[in-house]
Amino acid sequence: MAVVRPFDKLPALNSAAVLLVGSDESLQQKLAEAILKEKKNFKISIHLATSLPLPSERDHLRPRIDLIAFMIDIKSKYSLKNVEASLAHVDASFFLGKVCFLVTGVGRVNYCSVEMNAIWKLGEVYCSPVLYCELELEGIRVATAQRLLRMLQICAGHIPGVSALSFGLLMRNSADE
Amino acid sequence: MESEARTLPSAGRLSGAARLSRGPLFGRAHGRFGPGSGGPLPPCSQENADPQKTAFLLRKQWALYSVTPLYKFSSGKLREYARLLGAFIAAERHKGLAVQVGVDLDIQVTFSSLPDLKGSEQDHAAMLVQLSSRSSVSPKNSEEKLMWSGWFCCVSGDDLSENVPEDFTCLPLFLANGAESYVAIVGSWFQKTFDCRFRRLAISPLNLTWMAAMWTGCKVEKNASATELVFSVPCLPQPLDISYAIHPEDAKALWDTVQKTPGEITQEEVDLFMDCLYSHFHRHFKIHLSATKLVKVSTAIASAHCDGIIKFLQSKYLIGVLMLLTELAISQIQ
Amino acid sequence: MDETVAEYIRRTVLKIPRDEIKSMLQTWGFLSETQLQTLNFHQTKDNISQDVVQLCEDNSADIKQAAVLDIIYNHIYPNKRIWSVYQMNKTGEETDFFDLTDFKKKFKRRLQSALKNVTINFREYEDNAIWIRIAWGTPYKKPNQYKTSYVVYHSQTPYVFISASVLRSTLPLLCQALVVASNYHDIREMELRSHCLNSLKDIAFKRYSQTFQTYYPRPLQERNVAPENVDLRIIQENRSEKERIQRVNREVFGDGPQPKLEFAQYKLETMFKSNPKMDVLDIKEPFRCLVKFSSPHLLESLKSLAPAGLADAPLSPLLTCIPQKARNYFKIRERKGFFPGSFVSP
Domain ranges of chain A: 15-176
- Side-chain half-sphere exposure of C178, counting CA atoms within 13 A: 32
**Closest Cβ opposite residue A55 in set C233, C238, C309:** C238
Domain membership of residue B28 (yes or no) is: yes
Q: Is the pLDDT of residue B40 over 50?
A: no
Beta bridge partners of A16: A44
Does the pLDDT value for residue B7 go beyond 90? no
SS3 B288: coil
Give the pLDDT band of residue C216 (cuts 50, 70, 90).
very low
B269 falls within a domain: yes
Q: Which alpha helices (DSSP H) does B162-266 contain, by range?
A: 180-194, 205-217, 248-258
What is the residue type of A100? C
- Whether the CA torsion C168, C172, C176, C179 is positive or negative: it is positive
Mean local confidence (pLDDT), C166-188: 93
Tally Cβ neighbours within 10 Å of residue B306.
20
Contacts with A129 from chain B: Cβ below 8 Å? none
Distant-in-sequence, close-in-space partners of B14: CB < 8 Å, separation ≥ 6? A106, A109, A116, A132, B20
Note the pLDDT of residue C30: 95
Q: Is residue B9 situated within a structural domain?
A: no
- The residue range of the domain holding B254 is 24-54+202-328
The amino acid sitting at B184 is A
Q: Residue C153: enclosing H or E segment and its boundaries?
A: strand C141-154
Q: What is the pLDDT of residues C291-329, one digit of tens each?
A: 999 999 999 999 999 999 999 999 999 999 999 999 999
Q: Using alpha carbons only, what angle is made at residue B324 by residues B53 and B248, rounded to the nearest 5 degrees? A: 85
User: How many angstroms separate the CA atoms of A33 and A146, rounded?
Assistant: 12
- Residues in chain A predicted with pLDDT less than 50, given as ranges, are 1-2, 177
Pairwise CB contact (< 8 Å): A78 & B204: no
Question: Within 13 Å, how many C-alpha atoms sit on residue A52's CB side?
Answer: 23
Closest-approach residue (CA) in chain B for A113: B206
Given a contact cutoff of 8 angstroms between Cβ atoms, the answer to whether B236 and B3 are in contact is no
Cβ atoms within 10 Å, residue A91: 13
Hey, how many other C-beta atoms are within 10 angstroms of the C-beta on C105?
A: 12
Distances in Å between the Cα of B58 and the Cα atoms of B53, B154, B301, B303, C292 are: 11, 18, 10, 11, 27
Coil vs helix vs strand at C343: strand
Residue C34: CB atoms within 10 Å: 7
Of B196, B219, B251, the position where a domain reaches its end is: B196
| Domains contained in chain B, number | 2
**Sign of the torsion angle spanned by Cα atoms C87, C91, C95, C100:** negative
Size of interface B-C (CB pairs under 8 A): 122
Domain boundary among the residues B135, B166, B196 is at: B196
Q: Given this model, what pLDDT does residue A13 score?
A: 74
Residue B119 covered by a domain: yes
Residue type, B92: E
Average pLDDT over residues B290-297: 97
Taking the Cβ of residue A50 and every Cβ of chain C, the question of whether any pair is shorter than 8 Å is answered with yes
- Number of Cβ within 10 Å of residue B107's Cβ equals 20
Rounded to 5 degrees, φ, ψ at A39 are -75, 135
Based on the fold, state whether residues B213 and B135 are members of the same structural domain. no
Chosen for mutation from C229, C230, C232, C235 (greatest number of chain A CBs closer than 10 Å) is: C235
Which member of A111, A117, A121 has the closest CB to residue B205? A111
Q: How high does pLDDT run on average in chain B?
A: 82
Q: Please, which residues have CB within 8 angstroms of residue B149's CB and are 6 or more apart in sequence? A: B128, B129, B130, B131, B176, B177, B178
Residues of chain A found within 8 Å of residue C241, distances taken between Cβ atoms = 50, 55
Same domain, B153 and B248: no
ipTM (interface pTM): 0.88
pLDDT band at B12 (very low <50, low <70, confident <90, very high): very low
The verdict on a CB contact (< 8 Å) between C293 and B275 is no
Predicted model pTM: 0.88
CATH 3.40.50.300 fits A15-176, yes or no: yes
Q: Which amino acid is at B315?
A: S
Residues C303, C309, C313, C315, CA torsion sign:
negative
Chain B residue with minimal CA distance to C279?
Answer: B258
What is the 8-class DSSP label of residue C80? G
Residue B219 and residue B312 in one domain:
yes
Whether residue B177 sits in one domain with residue B211:
no
The per-residue pLDDT for range B83-121, each reduced to its tens digit, is 999 999 988 877 765 455 555 567 899 999 998 888 888
Q: What distance in Å separates the CA atoms of residue B146 and residue B33, rounded to the nearest whole number? A: 33
Q: Which residue has the higher pLDDT, B42 or B109?
A: B109
How far is it, in rounded angstroms, from Cα C78 to Cα C82?
A: 8
Q: So what's the pLDDT on residue C111?
A: 94
Helical H segments across chain B, by residue range? 24-33, 45-48, 51-54, 78-94, 158-161, 180-194, 205-217, 248-258, 267-285, 318-333
- Weakest mean pLDDT among A14-23, B252-261, C59-68: B252-261
Q: How far apart are CA B330 and CA B188, in angstroms?
A: 20
Which CATH number, 3.30.70, 3.60.90, 2.130.10, 3.40.190, labels domain C83-204? 3.60.90
List chains touching B (3+ CB pairs under 8 A): A, C
Give the whole-angstrom CA distance, residue B257 versus residue B260: 7
What pLDDT score does A39 carry?
A: 86
Q: B4 pLDDT band (50/70/90 cuts)?
A: very low
pLDDT at B45: 41
Backbone φ and ψ for C230, nearest 5 degrees, come out as -80, -30
Q: What is the 3-state secondary structure of chain A?
A: CCCECCCCCCCCCCEEEEEEECCCHHHHHHHHHHHHHCCCCCEEEEEEECCCCCCHHHHHHCCCCCEEEEEEECCCHHHHHHHHHHHCCECHHHHCCCEEEEEECCCCHHHCCCCHHHHHHHHHHCCCCEEECCCCCHHHHHHHHHHHHHHHHHHCCCCCCCCHHHHHHHHHHHHHC
C-beta separation of C200 from C260 below 8 A: no
Ranges of each domain in chain C? 3-76, 83-204, 218-223+240-344
Question: Model confidence at C215, in pLDDT bands (50, 70, 90)?
Answer: very low
| pLDDT value for A173 | 66
Q: Tens of pLDDT along A115-164?
A: 999 999 999 999 999 999 999 999 999 999 999 999 999 998 888 877 77
Q: Quick one: which H or E segment has residue B296?
A: strand B293-298
Which residue in chain B is spatially nearest to A73 when comparing CA positions?
Answer: B291
Whether residues B141 and B240 share a domain: the answer is: no
Mean per-residue pLDDT for C183-207?
A: 94
**What pLDDT band is residue B11 in, cutting at 50, 70 and 90?**
very low
Q: Are residues B152 and B252 in the same domain?
A: no
* pLDDT per position as a tens digit, C285-300: 899 999 999 999 999 9
* DSSP assignment of C279-307: --PPEEEEEEEEEEEE-TTHHHHHHTTTT
Beta carbon pairs, A and C, within 8 Å: 43
State the smallest CA–CA distance between residue A109 and chain C in angstroms.
Answer: 22
Contact at CB, B206 and A78, closer than 8 angstroms:
no
Query: Which among C275, C290, C304 has the least Cβ separation from residue B236?
Result: C304
HSE value, Cβ hemisphere, 13 Å, CA-based, for B44: 15
Q: Which of B153, B177, B196 is the last residue of a domain?
A: B196
Residue of A15, A37, A14 whose CA lies nearest to A144: A37
Does C136 score more than 60 pLDDT? yes
Report the pLDDT value the prediction gives residue C176, as an integer from 0 to 100: 95
Length of chain C: 346
Mutation target to probe the C interface, by most C beta carbons within 10 A, among B235, B240, B250 is B240
Average confidence (pLDDT) over C257-281: 84
